[in-house]
Amino acid sequence: MGLVTDLIHDRFKIWFPSRPDAKVDNIVEQIARVESLPQLWRIMIGYFRERGYGAVSYFLCGPGEPGAGPGLIAPPIHHGFSPAAVEAYLNSNFEQIDIVPRMTMAHGRPLRWTEVWASVELNEEERQYLTLMRAVEMGDGYSLPCYGPGKRNGYVGIGRMMADAATDEGSLREMHLSAQAAHLRILEFTATEQARTKPLSAREREILDWVARGKSNGVIAEILQISSGTVDTYLRRIYEKLGVSDRTSAAVRGIGMGLIAA
């Protein structure tokens, strides 16, 4: 397994020391070995169905919390929700009205939809939204927060709860970490696609290589005989192309994508 999945596997063992490793290894290894996003999506649908959830959705967001700031950076994907429920939700200005994703990202743990709504005093717009969701039989479920580099966060919604749906703390933690692993894998796929659509120039790779070696902008400027301002301009382009916001993340991403040597 890769570094990311190794770390997630270790966290599983810390949280679930008495549970058989085989069960943990199974989902993490499946996520690590998928070769395409459709394959990953099929695995996660089956994984959540086995735990009593007939519907799954995934939202990829930009910097800031879902429901505030720039919001989604890709169309949400979903499976198992009725067409009426999907249409009503996506047309409801959900990024501003639905407080569940914001609360979930702020708390950093799975939250049940009905419990979140019951914990706040609703305004008129929120009451109308909940009435609409009941009318299209959206039902109850959980939101699972996912975090990524460059503030590319997301959240997974699992709904259409069956009678035997797993809701105990241990199962929710396991599902949460599985969703997080899938989110990181999705970012790996999108980073690879980004590298194809926004490739680094030879000069950008050269600068990134020196950054990975720990050189400052001033030192890089001296080595390449260009100005520090030019180095800074190149770095901003590198950050944008790699979807990161700092030198360390750029170096790690560059090594991980094979753009520079480790």
Per-residue model confidence (pLDDT) at position 262? 59
Per-residue model confidence (pLDDT) at position 63? 60
Angle at 90 between CA 87 and CA 94, to 5 degrees: 140
Per-residue model confidence (pLDDT) at position 109? 96
**Residue position matching structure tokens 């991403």:** 253
Per-residue model confidence (pLDDT) at position 98? 95
pLDDT, tens digit (0-9, with 9 covering 90-100), for 232-262: 999 999 988 887 888 887 887 777 666 777 5
Residue 261 lies in a domain: no
pLDDT at residue 71 is higher than 70: no
Query: CB within 8 A of 117, min separation 6: which ones?
Result: 99, 100, 126, 130
Q: Average pLDDT over the chain, rounded to whole?
A: 85
The H helix count followed by the E strand count for the chain is: 13, 5
**SS3 at position 5:** helix
pLDDT at residue 147 is higher than 60: yes
Same domain, yes or no, for 61 and 9? yes
Per-residue model confidence (pLDDT) at position 36? 86
Q: Are 8 and 180 in contact (CB under 8 A)?
A: yes
| Residues of the chain above pLDDT 90, percent | 60
C-alpha–C-alpha distance, residues 155 and 108, integer Å = 10
pLDDT, tens digit (0-9, with 9 covering 90-100), for 158-205: 999 999 999 999 999 999 999 999 999 988 887 666 666 668 899 999
**SS3 at position 30:** helix
Same domain, yes or no, for 18 and 62? yes
Q: CA dist 81 to 32, 176, 257, Å?
A: 27, 20, 35
Provide the number of structural domains found in the chain. Answer: 2
Residue 262 lies in a domain: no
**Residue position matching structure tokens 């407080």:** 99
C-alpha–C-alpha distance, residues 251 and 241, integer Å = 13
C-alpha–C-alpha distance, residues 47 and 19, integer Å = 18
pLDDT, tens digit (0-9, with 9 covering 90-100), for 87-118: 999 999 898 899 999 999 999 999 999 999 99
Specify the pTM: 0.70
**SS3 at position 76:** coil
pLDDT, tens digit (0-9, with 9 covering 90-100), for 29-55: 999 999 888 999 999 999 999 999 999
Same domain, yes or no, for 162 and 182? yes
Q: What is the CATH number of the domain that holds 69?
A: 3.30.450.80
Lowest mean pLDDT among 121-125, 140-144, 217-221, 244-248: 244-248
Q: Are 178 and 27 in contact (CB under 8 A)?
A: yes
Q: What is the CATH number of the domain that holds 251?
A: 1.10.10.10
